[in-house]
Chain A
């Protein structure tokens, strides 16, 4: 229970479904002293109190589990290392994979619980993971990394409800968090300044910005880790483009610290190599289905074939701004089939 409205209502629905429910708040911050670590924070003392109050209202036991060390190693350090390697990680996905449905689930099962209930917006019935009915709030993308074994011990009560309905349910049960604002962005970067967060940890690593068409150096940067494929703003280019059109980050190469920029058309990707594949609803390959390449991103028709170490995904329509490190999540309509990590792309 994060202290937000979703997990509070999920807990309420689990109680009403007849389960014996215990509330657990995860202490993930190494320095939880802040009362309120900014409106985006997820682990301030105020959030812990809000979670505890929701448990009180529901009449369930409530404990704080200290997973700060695991979170630092598996999510925060991983986040920084991924950017340092020129990739764009999704920390929420990593937290689900390694903390909520791994460290927490394992401990819960060992302590005698049957599973973990969360307030994620996705449907899970008979082991099949599907998108939420609320397309804006759908979180199936960051849950697709879960294995069938993890899904078998998971309950997601909110997938059939819109966010507005969740808030109504909270109000009708007297839960004080009914109107609490949604959390946004990355919980461990309270001020929302991801670039500053990375700069503090990786230090300045200046390098060139190179134009893909001419090969010319068109600017300098303080650290390639501050750039993501598809990015347009904040490039600080000193040499205008020949055609006068905007340029976008095409690639980030950490060893030579080179950021390559080019026209929008050069962002087009038609093939994606995804590694570390995980099937939530296994299907035989080759396979024709859909793929989503970033959180809240577009869905593309695709055909998937097996290659050494993963999937070769051929897109029916080009995608733009596909960054290595993001998840390639396969869907069949609403149904999540599986997830891999974007390793390479080709035009």
Chain B
């Protein structure tokens, strides 16, 4: 048995489970004025402070959400609407070509329904967005509502030069959003030092509960809300606060960030071992993404002549759980836009698998994968020839 899909979700930290379970017994709406309400509010505000401290933000810059997709939608749509309202010329979005669908599809929605124009910032063959490419895409910048480039790619693991990209956006006074969902717990993420105006995180990628995340949003950044109602979270995100989930989120964030330097070294060591041994076991396998600037827990390969979904199914039958990249709700695999943006053929894109490591990964997981892989690749190749 080997769980090699931590980039999809990773087990909760026991400390987060305990803290969350305890908070589940609290009665009280954090917006209520009585004693019970104050007790819940205290738990929320302590969580906000803990999360802010861990991620280099001020407590007032934390907007709790239901996760990464909501944070990305809130940032992209909210910034677009606010910037256009302030100046109607600002109708263009400048967005990295390898973004997660939570950004990508929000951008496409604005294009189709709100008259937005989109400039996709191209990536190189390693999946990198360079400041030069961003500068060229910005043009004069007068018509740009926002720039959004992810911190690290969810499929191939390539890490972007976030600080330099934020500075480039700011040359034209344009706000910069980054989807850091894959980065927290694997890389050092500091909101203030990053220069970003908005940053998306979600707890379940690093040991927190599913359904709890945050958008870190600079104090002076105007944003139009998606959800209207009770005015919670700076009036930016209405809705009764999910106290236990936020307690679990904050506990996990604090621990994951505290352990990150050590975890990154350990995971990178395991990952390098995996890459080397997969390469030896299946010599024709091709590593995708940046060989150096990549998430410590990420290894992403193409297996020429195979279908990724055949490989996934055959590995699953042997207890090895991996991903073809990004899950699709209908279960029908599409060639990854990330791989095609990097200049790879759809056939190579369809032949790829992502192995992602996390806090529970052990050397035995790599052993199991390396043992199972060669016959699986052989069989998948024969199936693809049919």
In B308-348, which residues have CB < 8 Å from any A CB?
Answer: 309-310, 313-314, 316-317, 329-333
**Beta-carbon contact of B333 and A66 below 8 Å:** yes
Question: Which one, B36-44, B71-79, B293-301, B375-383, is touching chain A?
Answer: B375-383
Contact (Cβ within 8 A) B314 A61: no
Q: Is A110 an interface residue (CB 8 A)?
A: yes
Give the shortest distance, in Å, between A335 (CB) and chain B (any CB).
31
Contacting residues, chain A, for B383 (C-beta < 8 A):
107, 110-111
Whether the Cβ atoms of A112 and B386 lie closer than 8 Å is no
Q: What is the bound-complex CA distance between A27 and B386, given in angstroms?
A: 18
For the complex formed, measure the closest distance between the CB of B54 and the CB atoms of chain A, giving whole angstroms. 37
- Residue from A48, A111, A112 with most neighbouring chain B CB atoms (10 Å): A111
Do B309 and A63 touch across chains, with their CB atoms under 8 A apart?
yes
Chain B residue at minimum C-beta to C-beta distance from A67: B332
Residues of chain B within 8 A of A48, CB atoms compared: 330-331
Q: State whether the Cβ of A98 lies closer than 8 Å to any Cβ in chain B.
A: no
Min Cβ gap B301→A in Å is: 20
Q: Assess whether B379 is in contact with A22, with CB atoms less than 8 Å apart.
A: no
Q: How many A-B residue pairs have CB under 8 A?
A: 43
Q: Say yes or no: A27 contacts B314, CB within 8 Å.
A: no
B331 near A64 (CB under 8 angstroms)? Answer: yes
Min CB–CB distance B372 → chain A (angstroms) = 13
Residue of A52, A61, A65 contacting most chain B CB atoms (<10 Å): A65
On whether the beta carbons of A111 and B379 are closer than 8 Å, the reply is yes
State whether A32 touches B309 (Cβ < 8 A).
Answer: no
Q: Is chain B's interface secondary structure helix, strand, loop, or mixed overall?
A: helix
Collect the chain A residues with CB atoms within 8 Å of residue B331's CB: 25, 27, 48, 52, 63-64
Asked whether A64 lies within 8 Å of B330 as measured between CB atoms, the reply is: yes
Pick from B314, B317, B332, B380 the residue with the most CB of A within 10 Å: B332
State the CA gap A32–B331 with chains docked (Å): 11
Contact pattern, A 58-80, Cβ under 8 Å of B = 1, otherwise 0:
00010111101000000000000
A171 in the interface, Cβ–Cβ < 8 Å?
Answer: no
Please, how many residues of chain B have a CB less than 8 angstroms from a CB on the other chain? 17
Q: How far is the CA of A61 from the CA of B379 in the complex (A)?
A: 18
Question: Is A111 in contact with B330, judged by CB distance below 8 angstroms?
Answer: no
Is A264 close to B, CB under 8 A? no
- Determine if A191 is an interface residue (Cβ-Cβ < 8 Å): no
**Set of chain A residues within 8 Å of B313, measured between Cβ atoms:** 22, 61, 63, 111
Query: Given A63-B309, A63-B313 in contact, is the A112-B379 Cβ separation under 8 Å?
Result: yes
Among the listed B314, B332, B333, which residue makes an inter-chain contact with A111, where contact means beta carbons less than 8 Å apart? B314
B330 — which chain A residues lie within 8 A by C-beta?
27, 32, 45, 48, 64
Kindly report which residue of chain A lies nearest to residue B384, judged by CB atoms: A110
* Per-position binary interface string of chain B over residues 350-386, scored 1 when its CB falls under 8 Å from any chain A CB and 0 otherwise: 0000000000000000000000000000011011011
Q: How far is the CB of A31 from chain B (nearest CB, A)?
A: 11
Q: Is the CB of B332 within 8 A of A106?
A: no
Report the separation of the CA atoms of residues A45 and B329 in the bound assembly, to the nearest whole angstrom.
Answer: 9
B222 nearest CB across to chain A (Å): 35
Q: Chain A residues near B329 (CB, 8 Å)? A: 45
Count chain A CB atoms within 10 A of each CB in B329, B379, B386 and give the residue with the most: B386
Complex CA gap A154/B386 in Å reads: 18
Residues of the B chain whose Cβ atoms lie less than 8 Å from the Cβ of A106: 386
Which residues of chain B have C-beta atoms less than 8 A from A63's C-beta? 309, 313, 331
Q: From residue B304, how far is it (CB to closest CB) to chain A in Å? A: 17
Note all chain B residues with C-beta closer than 8 A to A22: 313, 317
Contacts of A66 in B (CB 8 A): 332-333
Interface residues of A in 169-195 (CB under 8 A from B): none
Which single member of A32, A45, A52, A110 contacts B382 (CB below 8 Å)?
Answer: A110
Chain A residues contacting B317 (CB-CB under 8 Å) are: 22, 61
Which of A65-114 touch B at CB < 8 Å?
Answer: 65-66, 68, 106-107, 110-112
Query: A15-34, CB under 8 A of B: which get 1 and which 0?
Result: 00000001001010000100
A106 to B383, CA, bound (A): 8
- The answer on a CB contact under 8 Å between A27 and B332 is yes
* Cross-chain contact A32 with B379 (CB below 8 angstroms): no
> Residues of A contacting B316 with CB < 8 Å?
61
Chain A residues in 8 Å Cβ range of B333: 66
Partner among B310, B314, B332, B385 whose Cβ is within 8 Å of the Cβ of A64:
B332
Which residues of A lie under 8 Å from residue B382 when comparing CB positions? 110
B386 contacts across to A, CB distance below 8 A: 106-107, 110
Chain A, Cβ-Cβ closest to B316 = A61
A201 to B333, CA, bound (A): 28
Most buried by A among B309, B316, B330, B382: B330
Chain B residues contacting A52 (CB-CB under 8 Å) are: 331
Which residues between 229 and 272 of chain B lie within 8 Å of chain A, taking CB atoms? none
Which B residues touch A27, using CB under 8 A? 330-332
Query: Given A61-B317, A107-B386, A111-B314, do A32 and B380 touch, yes or no (CB 8 Å)?
Result: no
Which residues of chain A are near B380, meaning CB under 8 Å? 111
State the Cβ distance, A49 to closest chain B Cβ, in Å: 10
Shortest beta-carbon distance from B317 to chain A in Å = 7
Residues of A within 8 A of B310 (CB): 107, 111
Complex interface: chain B residues within 8 A of A107 (CB): 310, 383, 386
Docked CA distance A112–B333 (Å): 21
Measured CA separation A324–B313 after assembly (Å): 42
- B375's nearest neighbour on chain A, judged by CB, is A112
B32 to chain A, nearest CB (A): 39
Name A108's closest neighbour in chain B (CB-CB): B383
Q: Which residues of A contact B332 (CB under 8 A)?
A: 27, 32, 64, 66, 68
A11 to B77, CA, bound (A): 45
Chain B residues within an 8 Å CB radius of A32: 330, 332
Q: How far is the CB of A207 from chain B (nearest CB, A)?
A: 41
Smallest distance from the beta carbon of A65 to chain B beta carbons, Å? 8
Give complex CA distance A111, B332 in Å: 18
What CA separation (Å) do A213 and B332 show in the bound complex? 55
Query: What residues of chain B lie closer than 8 Å to A68, measured between beta carbons?
Result: 332
Listed from nearest, the 6 A-B pairs whose CB atoms lie closest are A64-B331, A110-B383, A106-B386, A66-B332, A27-B332, A111-B383
**A interface with B by C-beta (< 8 Å):** 22, 25, 27, 32, 45, 48, 52, 61, 63-66, 68, 106-107, 110-112
**Could you list 5 A-B pairs, sorted by A, with CB under 8 Å?**
A22-B313, A45-B329, A63-B313, A111-B314, A112-B379
Please name 11 further chain A to chain B contacts, defined as beta carbons within 8 Å, in addition to the given A27-B332, A32-B330, A107-B386, sorted by A numbering: A48-B330, A61-B313, A61-B316, A64-B332, A106-B386, A110-B382, A111-B310, A111-B313, A111-B380, A111-B383, A112-B379
